[in-house]
Chains A and B, each alone.
Chain A
Amino acid sequence: MISKLAFRNIKKSIKDYGIYFFTVTLGIALFYVFNAVESQSAMMYITKSNKAIIELLVQVISGVSLFVSGVLGALIIYANQLLIKRRKKEFGIYQILGMGKGQVSCLLFFETLLVGLISLGVGLLLGALLSQLMGIVLVNLFEVNLTKFKFVFSISAMWKSIFYFGIMYVVVMVFNMIIMSRMRIIEMLRKKENTKLPVKNPIIALLVFAAGVGILARAYYYVVDFNQLAILLRGDMAMILIPIGMGIVSTFMIFYSLTTIAVLIFSHTKSYYKKLNAFTFKQISSQIGTMVTAISSICIMLFLTICIISTALTIRESLNSGFAESNPVDISYGIVLNKPTNDIDKVLAGIKGKNYDYTKEFSRYCVVKTYEFTKQDFNLKTFVGKRYPEFKNMVDTSMKYGAKWHAISLSDYNKLASLYHIKKYQLKDDQYMMIRTNDLQKELFDAGLSEGFTLNIDGHRLTPKYTETKSVSLMNADNEAMLTILPDSALTKRKAYQITLTGDYKENNKKHAERLFMAAIRNVVKDKDYSTYTSKLQNKNDNVGTTVLVTFVGLYLGIIFLLASAAILALKSLSHTIDSQERYQILKKIGTDPKDISRSLFVQNLFLFVTPLLLAIIHSVAGMKFVTILFGATNFINTSSLIRGTGIMVLIYSVFYGGYFIITHMMNMNIIKTR
């Protein structure tokens, strides 16, 4: 009997269950999609390094999923409360007819179970479909080819979804029973009395608002101005919590006083008494005024979402675009010679013959010689001269570990420079200069140069042309940090310690070209020589791994948060409309144009969705500025990537947030239709 009633109730209240069902289904679908990543990756050709990344990804997502299911669970509980509220009168009637509390709870249990099973089924179906899409996204992210396209379904992800949602549902049903047992019959049947409007003292509201804005401005200043930030964080990284805390508190203060201020201003304008404006305004006030905590929390959640997604996407864009910059050639291959020689052709004979000829296989290339300084040539201690005390540690350590210093001829450097399309240099016969590829020992070497250290190479006395090292982006085979450039005339008596071939493969299929090259170089190294190389393809793989991890986790968290925020707003909006039903009936009775009513509903809904988003966006501007400063030190982010990343995020927002807004409006319209 109860189950029959449950069935019929669900059929009747399909519209009521609408947003509840939609949210749960979407939640399950997303949950499944992200947890099915592992099986989706079976579609692709995986390299060893990619496999490791995917395993890491799966672990991270599992961990995050626990948190995510907590968020979704709280959401479902909230949605459930709304449903019970909607049907208060119905439950009251059941009880007054003599149905016991236990039986009504049982009824609710069946209904929730039924809806839960349906949404689980639909959610998994939707998830399965979406995860095929996700597979394609993965392929794109990893920049590999599909081995074969087949429909994959992850059993493990399915079980995980069922498990987590099973737990959630048990919690929900327990909650329901508690709520049911607490409610008294009279509460359920009685019409709502006229509630007092929570009217706040305007003067206090004004002060709170001003204070809130002030605190917020100060917090922004902290994180946006580089100097302020440096001063703040000088003592302790944890000090960053101060502006964060200020931001949160000020958000609450602003929302607390917002409606009172708005009423103060708006009620004195001419348009207040036009159409349904006064009514709409009061509705918005009563709604926002009673959910200050919720709306502030949503604002902060939205802010986090924007930052997470934006940062993740921006990092991805940056890594991808920065990659091109720091990997200008396909390969840089160097042979370190046991016996120094200048005979390039002899050394590279193995790749300049019938089996493989680099002059034909490479579209462009250059071969350079690197020389090693002897201890007589160059001594780090004497190099820094009287500034040794400043750099004592660095110098002593370097010398203790027998660091070697290398040089290259000017003409060879300029050959590289034209290959890389970077600046060429000029040197007189009595000058030298130094270039650096990272900043590790910048100060040390700048000091030496500014001291005017004189190099003595085979009788040539060379003085530094510049008083500092020049920064250069070279992809070199042995990752030299510091390289000295000498005029060709100074190196006539020297023999090279390393020969380096740098260039681009001619073939378009770089993987194949590299495989050929790697096979060929096995014939090059003789006896006690050894080789080293830096390959663009390999760097790319590492790059891809990081991007995927960051993008995925960022999107997962971001979208779930976004979903939760939008769902809560939707539910609050529906709840308020249900409470206001009588007012809309009155408006209809006195003959208000239905168009005016629907416009009022739309505006109310708009305010509710837009206000927290607006403030969140303002917060995000400061937040992202902070992130750029933070990453600026490591050159991780550039502006154009930021714009592109933010653009994609705006798209995601429009789809999810906008979608929820539209659905909520439609459901609101449905609620006020005369029953």
Chain B
Amino acid sequence: MNILRIENVEKYYGNKSSMTKAIDDLSCNVDQGEFVAIMGASGSGKTTLLNCISTIDRVTSGHIYVKGLDITTLKSKQLSHFRREELGFIFQDFNLIDTLTAYENIALALSIQRKEKDMKDRIRSLARDLDIEDVLNNYPYEMSGGQKQRVAAARALITSPSLILADEPTGALDSTSSRFLLEKMLMLNKDYKATILMVTHDAFSASYANRVIFIKDGKIFHEIYKGEDDRKTFFNKIIDVETMLGGDLNDL
């Protein structure tokens, strides 16, 4: 079943005299239960694409369907409704509310939907799985980066959204925390059947996905599936594609 269908999406910035084409006639589909990574250099349009899917930004032309609903035709009121019901977010800089505890941050996602039933139990069990049960009563400034990101992940998942969007989730983390987070995201994908769309420039992070889409200059450049490969093999394949582009994908 198609959770996400992107059809001929184009996104322009600027006006007639100076126009930037961020996304150039892009189409692709994502099925339920997939863990997709979108890789591209800075300026390739990957963050713009994510913003369009998450309805933070609007496409210039084309359609995006989430669970069959054309989100490009929604009005702003319906958009925020859609955003909280169907999507979950993990940002690079965590974006937790600093005046709320971890528990309260996660609970927020439920309370804005008015779905507070069994809140305590649901949060506790998810927290256990994500290994943040001990810090539930801590404030963000009392937690490590890795813990904060896992709290964000819990917030993203607690409402059982159709799609979880992650924008460079390991960007602000050290290697150990990154690995830990990615393992957890993999667990969420396998055990909770969460559909995850992750934007990243880091091949290591991308290797945790089961499908990687490469974007260059607003177009889909290449796509590879993990299939039966183990993660290390998949990682090498990803590096090969990067090398094939002559290091263009490496934006560091």
**Chain A interface residues (CB < 8 Å from chain B):** 194-197, 273-279, 282-283, 285-286, 583, 586-594, 596
Contacts and interface: CB of A to CB of B under 8 A. Distances in A.
Given A278-B100, A583-B98, A583-B99, A590 B83 contact: yes
B34 interface: no
Interface stretch (B1-9, B106-114, B219-227): B106-114
B112 A596 contact: yes
Q: Of B83, B99, B139, which is in contact with the most chain A CB atoms at under 10 Å from its CB?
A: B99
A594 B97 contact: no
B99 A274 contact: no
Contacts of B97: 279, 282, 583, 586-587
A590 B119 contact: no
A194 B112 contact: no
23 contacts: A194-B141, A273-B111, A273-B116, A274-B111, A275-B114, A276-B108, A278-B108, A279-B104, A583-B97, A587-B112, A588-B80, A590-B83, A590-B84, A590-B108, A590-B112, A591-B81, A591-B83, A591-B112, A592-B84, A592-B112, A593-B81, A593-B112, A594-B80
B140 A194 contact: yes
A590 B84 CA distance: 6
B92 to A, nearest CB: 12
A400 B91 CA distance: 99
Contacts of A279: 97, 99-100, 104, 108
B89 interface: yes
Contacts of A195: 98, 141
Contacts of A196: 141
Contacts of B111: 273-278
B108 to A, nearest CB: 7
Contacts of A273: 104, 107, 110-111, 116, 119
B80 A591 contact: yes
Q: Of B84, B96, B108, B109, which is in contact with the most chain A CB atoms at under 10 Å from its CB?
A: B108
B112 A275 contact: yes
**Which 8 residue pairs spanning A and B have beta carbons closest together?**
A591-B83, A591-B84, A282-B99, A586-B95, A194-B141, A194-B98, A592-B112, A278-B104
Contacts of B96: 586
Interface in B96-148: 96-100, 104, 107-112, 114, 116, 119, 139-141
Nearest to A593: B80
B89 A590 contact: yes
Q: Is the interface of B mostly helix, strand, loop or mixed?
A: helix
Contact of A590 (B76, B98, B155): B155
B149 to A, nearest CB: 14
Interface string B57-80: 000000000000000000011001
A267 to B, nearest CB: 9
A586 B89 CA distance: 10
B116 A274 contact: yes
Q: Is the interface of A mostly helix, strand, loop or mixed?
A: helix
B237 to A, nearest CB: 33
A233 B52 CA distance: 75
Contacts of A593: 80-81, 84, 112
B47 to A, nearest CB: 13
A308 to B, nearest CB: 38
Contacts of A594: 76-77, 80
B87 interface: yes
Contacts of B28: none
A589 B77 contact: no
A289 to B, nearest CB: 11
A285 B101 CA distance: 14
Contact of B87 (A285, A588, A591): A591
Nearest to A674: B56
A33 B69 CA distance: 62
Given A278-B100, A286-B99, 13 more contacts: A197-B98, A275-B111, A275-B112, A276-B112, A277-B111, A279-B97, A279-B100, A279-B108, A588-B80, A591-B82, A591-B83, A591-B112, A592-B84
Contacts of B95: 586, 589
Interface in B182-218: none
B97 to A, nearest CB: 5
A127 B82 CA distance: 51
A22 B221 CA distance: 57
A351 B194 CA distance: 109
Nearest to A277: B111
Contacts of A590: 83-84, 89, 108-109, 112, 155
A591 B141 CA distance: 24
A372 B49 CA distance: 110
A274 B113 CA distance: 9
Nearest to B82: A591
Nearest to A193: B141
A274 B111 CA distance: 5
Nearest to B94: A586
Contacts of A587: 97, 112
A274 B117 CA distance: 10
B89 A589 contact: yes
